[in-house]
């Protein structure tokens, strides 16, 4: 049976813009016009508060988990890899939001939690340590996602999963180019750990 429909469904799942919907329903704001303008968990948290941020995180992360569970049900590692790439593409280029989506970190966390929980757990530790030291979410997200394919290789995961890790890292770094420019010129906002 041809299971390529799973890849398209994964893209549609990724296209559900939870961060946009939470901003709209929770606070009546258009997240694209607020804060960094990114349709993602960090910007929802920043502009609509922690409760909205956690709901957005659950939705965006859940999309990644769901896509992997679906692909694993109907196929093997290559289908999981293609569906994982598709859900990330859907999140970043959503059909339901004019192809302007987020930077894929929360959805990638869901994908890799479902692919390999130990890898995601190590990445989460790296992310929290980097946020604690530097207080830049974007920097922690960039370095955290780069660590994923490296950790996958260290954990001897199947090659297709490592390829998915490389894809996610390259894609996320590309989406964070504006953040990297702000980090370089000192205008990237730090988070206030006392306030959060």
Residues that bind ligand G3P (CB under 6 A): 36, 38, 40, 42-43, 103, 105, 137-138, 141, 179
What angle in degrees, to the nearest 10, is found between the helix axes of 105-115 and 137-154? 20
**In the complex with ligand G3P, which residue's Cβ is closer, 7 or 142?**
142
Q: Pick between residue 81 and residue 179 the one whose CB is nearest to ligand G3P.
A: 179
User: Cβ 130 to ligand G3P, closest distance in Å?
Assistant: 11
User: With respect to ligand G3P, which residue has the nearer C-beta, 49 or 76?
Assistant: 49
Burial label, 135 (beta-carbon count in 10 A; 0-12, 13-18, 19+): middle
What's the burial of 98, exposed, middle or buried (CB within 10 Å: 0-12/13-18/19+)? exposed
Q: How far is the CB of 61 from ligand G3P (least distance, A)?
A: 11
Least distance in angstroms from the C-beta of 88 to ligand G3P: 12
Q: Residue 65 or residue 137: which is nearer to ligand G3P going by CB?
A: 137
Nearest distance, CB of residue 1 and ligand G3P, angstroms: 36
Show Cβ contacts of residue 172 under 8 Å, excluding neighbours closer than 6 positions: 103, 104, 105, 108, 141, 142, 145
How far is the C-alpha of 133 from the C-alpha of 171, rounded, in Å? 25
């Amino acid at each position: 049976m041809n299971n390529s429909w799973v890849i398209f469904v994964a893209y549609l799942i990724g296209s559900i813009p939870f961060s946009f919907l939470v901003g709209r329903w929770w606070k009546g704001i258009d997240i694209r016009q607020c804060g960094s303008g990114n349709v993602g968990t960090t910007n929802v948290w920043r502009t609509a508060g922690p409760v909205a941020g956690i709901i957005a995180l659950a939705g965006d992360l859940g999309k990644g988990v769901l896509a992997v569970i679906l692909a694993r049900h109907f196929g093997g590692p290559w289908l999981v890899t293609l569906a994982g790439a598709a859900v990330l593409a859907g999140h970043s280029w959503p059909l339901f939001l004019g192809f302007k989506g987020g930077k894929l970190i929360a959805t990638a966390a869901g994908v890799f939690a479902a692919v390999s929980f130990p890898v995601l757990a190590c990445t989460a530790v790296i992310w929290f340590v980097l946020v604690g030291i530097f207080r830049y979410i974007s920097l922690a997200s960039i370095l955290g996602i780069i660590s994923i394919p490296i950790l996958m290789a260290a954990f001897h995961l199947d090659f297709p999963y490592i390829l998915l890790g490389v894809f996610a890292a390259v894609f996320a770094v590309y989406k964070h180019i504006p953040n990297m420019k702000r980090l370089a010129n000192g205008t990237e906002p730090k988070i206030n750990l006392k306030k959060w």
